[in-house]
Copies of this chain bind each other. A is one copy, B any other.
Amino acid sequence: MSKHSIYPLTLDGNSVDKKRLEIKEYFHNTYDLFEKVFELLKDDEVFYQKSEITRHPMIFYFGHTATFFINKLINMKIIDKRINSDFESIFAVGVDEMSWDDVESSHYAWPTVDDVREYRHSVKQRVDELIMSLPLTLPIAQDSDMWIILMGIEHERIHIETSLVLHRQMPLEFIKEVDEFNLCVESSTAPKNEMITIISGEVKLGKERSHNLYGWDNEYGVFNESVEEFKVSKYLVSNSEYMEFVLSGGYENRDYWDDEGRKFLDITKVKYPHFWIKDGEVYKYRTISSVIDMPLSFPVDVNALEAEAFCRYKSQKEGVKYLLPSESEYRVIYEQSGEGEISNSENANLNLSYYSSCPIDKYNFNGIYDVVGNVWQWSRTPIRGFDGFEVHEAYDDFSTPTFDDKHSLILGSSWASSGNLIMKYSRYAFRKHFYQHAGFRYVISQTKDKKVQDIYESDELVSQYCEFQYGETHFGVNNFAIETAKIASKYALNHSKALDLGCATGRATYELAKNFNEVEGVDFSVRFVQVGSKLKESGKVLFHSVEEGSLIKNKRVTLQDLGYENLVDKVSFWQGDACNLKANFNSYDLVMATNLIDRLYNPMLFLETVDEKLNDEGILVITSPYTWQESSTKKEFWLGGYCDESGEEIKTIDSLKNILSDKFELIHLQNLEFVIKESARKYQHTISEVSVWKKR
C-alpha cells in the first residue's frame, strides 16, 4: 500500500462502472491506511493495552471499523449473513467517550490479533463484492445501498485520525517507528501573533441534500447567520505563545478556569499540555513515536478547557476580551480565504502528507495561516442540528447524542484528517476535556452568543417516547411502562437482576428497580438510551409534547417527581442489539422484551438464545402488538402475520409457542393497551399482547 491518502470521491458522475472502481480504490486506500496506522503498535501484545483508562484496548478499534460495515449492512437489510457474530457483537460500539458504552474490558475474552486480521480480510472481500454488485445509480443518494458502504469508509477515516491520537497517548515503549510516517522537521522560533480584521459577512452553514460529496447527518439543513466585523489571530497559538501561559502559572490560577475546567484540573492534576513532556525544567514534545525538543513554532495541542483558560488569561492580561471563534465566524474566515470544498495537502498540512504538526507560519491563506489543517481549532459553539436536521436511518446516533451543549465543534481539520474530515461542510464535536490533534486560535468579537438554556429533547421520535413513558395518560389507559413492570415483577420468582430489553427512554427500567436489585436497560438506539441515562446523571428528563402542528409544550420530569431518588444506583443503560447481544449481558432473573420482537431484523436470533441469558427459574416477558412491517423485518423473518406455503394462516403467538416451548413454559397471557400521543388530538392506540414464559 501507499502511505498516500487519496481524496474523497464525488457522489455524481456519468459512469456507474467507473464509480464502482473509484469506490473500490477509495475503500482499499482507507482500509489499508487504517491497518498501516496499527503497525505503530510495537507487537501484538500492545493491542490489549489502553491508551487511557476510560478507553477500550486497541484491539477493539482494530476490529471495530470492519464490524461496522457488516453491522450496518445487516441492520439495513442489505445483506443477511454475518461473517462472525461474536466479533460483530464485541466490536460493535465505538463511541466510547459515552457513559452508555461498556468499556470494562474484563467482560471480554478478546480474540487474537491474527484472528481479527483474518476477519478484517474477510470483510474486505465481502465489501469488495458488494461494491461491484450492489444496485447503483448516480448520484449516490442517502437511501442508496452504496451510501452504507461510503458510510463505512468515512467511519474508518474518522478512526484513522482518532487512532493516531490514541497511539500518540500510548507509552512510548509500546510504539515503534513506521518508515512511511514522516514528521515535519522544519521548526524555528514562532512568529509573534497579531490580530487581523475580518469584515462582516453572511454565512450559510448547512449543505443541501443534493450536494455531491458524502456528508454526515449533522451537515445537512439550513442555518444562515449574519456575522459582524471581528478580529482573529493571524496564527494558531503556538507552543511558544502557550508557554507564557504555562510559565505564568496558568494551570494554578483557578480564575482562568470555569467549573468544568476546575473539575478537569482536580481530576487530572495536569500542569501543562498533554503532549508536552517535562524533563527536569525543560518541556519536550511527544510526537506519535518519539519525544523531541520543543518545536516552538508548532501549534500547541490542548483541549477546549485549556484553550478557554488561555483566552481568559490573555483577556485579563490585556484588558480585551478574547474568545474562541464561533462556527459562523470561522465560516466567514473560510469564505474569505478562498478555500474550496475539499482542501488540498499542497496548500495545507492535512490528508496525512506529514504525520505531525508543522510550523504555524508555513501555510498562508490570504493572510490568515492554517485556516485549515495542522491541528483542529476549538470553537466556542456547541454542536446542534441545523433546521431540517434528520438522522440517517443507518446511523441514527452519529450526532444526536452530542446535541447536548456539552460537545464543542472543532474546526478546520488536522494533519491526520482525510476523507469527509477535510471537507468544507464537515462538522465534528467533542466533549471539552477530550484530546484530539487540536489547538486553537482566538478572536475579538462583539457577537452575543445565546445564553444556554435547558436542552429539551429535539429529536421528535425520542420526545414522543418520553411523552409516552413520562407524560400524561389518555383515554383512561394506564402508563404502559409501569404496568408491564408490575406484571413482570409479579411473575418473576427471583429479583436479583433484570434486563429491560428495548428499554427506549428507560421508564420501565426504573420501575423494575423498585423490585429488583439491579436492572440493565438496553436499546438498539443510543438516541433513546441516553434519556434514561441522563435522568440518572442530571436528575431530570426534558422533552416536549406536540400540541397542534408545530406548537409544542416543554415538559420536565425529575427523579423526585418520579420517586426514583433511591433507585439510580440500581439502574444502568447500555446500547445493544437484541439479535446479537454481547456475552456480558447475562445471569438475569427477568428478561423483559417490550414491543421489540416485531421491530427486530431477525427475531429468531433473539428467541433462540434468550434462555442462555436467564438464570434457573428465570422469567421471560414478551409484549408486542405483532405489527410486522417490511421496513423493520424482511418478510422471510416475520414470526407470523402471513400465510405459509400450504395457505395456512400463521399467527405470531402460535409461532412463539412453537419456538419457545422446548425451553419455556407459557404461564400467563393477557392484553395490555397503550396510547402514544402524536398531538393533542391524535394518538396511536394499541393493544399489546403480554406473554410470560418460565424457563424450564
Contact = CB atoms under 8 A, between A and B. Distances in A.
A273 interface: no
Interface string A550-566: 11000000000000000
A642 interface: yes
Nearest to A638: B549
Contact of A551 (B475, B641, B689): B641
A684 B681 contact: no
Contacts of A685: 475, 675, 682-685
Interface stretch (A155-163, A262-270, A622-630): A622-630
A548 B640 contact: yes
Interface in A134-183: 135, 137-139
A551 B649 CA distance: 7
A61 to B, nearest CB: 37
A667 interface: no
Given A675-B685, A683-B684, A685-B675, A549 B139 contact: no
A688 B684 contact: no
B549 A628 contact: yes
Interface in A655-696: 675, 678-689
Contact of A641 (B137, B138, B550): B550
A137, A551, A641, A652 pick with most chain B CB within 10 angstroms = A551
A651 interface: yes
A527 to B, nearest CB: 22
A348 to B, nearest CB: 31
B627 A679 contact: yes
A53 interface: no
Given A551-B643, A638-B549, A681 B687 contact: yes
Nearest to A652: B548
A450 to B, nearest CB: 15
Contacts of A627: 549, 678-679, 681-682
Interface string A603-646: 00000000000000000000001111000000100101111000
Nearest to A139: B137
A224 interface: no
B681 A689 contact: yes
Residues of A in contact with B, size category:
35 or more
Nearest to A629: B549
Contact of A651 (B548, B652, B686): B548
Count of this chain's copies in the oligomeric assembly: 2
A187 interface: no
A689 B681 CA distance: 9
Interface in A550-607: 550-551
A14, A135, A685 pick with most chain B CB within 10 angstroms = A685
A200 interface: no
A56 B9 CA distance: 56
A210 interface: yes
Contacts of A628: 548-550
Interface in A506-563: 547-551
Contact of A137 (B210, B549, B682, B684): B210
A138 B675 CA distance: 44
A683 B210 CA distance: 37
A684 B685 CA distance: 6
A155 to B, nearest CB: 26
A198 to B, nearest CB: 31
A403 to B, nearest CB: 22
Contacts of A682: 625, 627, 684-687
Contacts of A625: 679, 681-682
B684 A684 contact: yes
Nearest to A13: B14
Contacts of A643: 550-551
Contacts of A651: 548, 551
Interface of A: 12, 14, 135, 137-139, 210, 475, 547-551, 625-628, 635, 638, 640-643, 649, 651-652, 675, 678-689
Question: Can you list the 7 inter-chain pairs with the closest CB atoms, starting with the nearest?
Answer: A549-B641, A685-B685, A625-B681, A549-B628, A548-B641, A14-B14, A681-B687
7 contacts: A137-B139, A137-B210, A549-B626, A550-B628, A625-B682, A680-B687, A683-B685
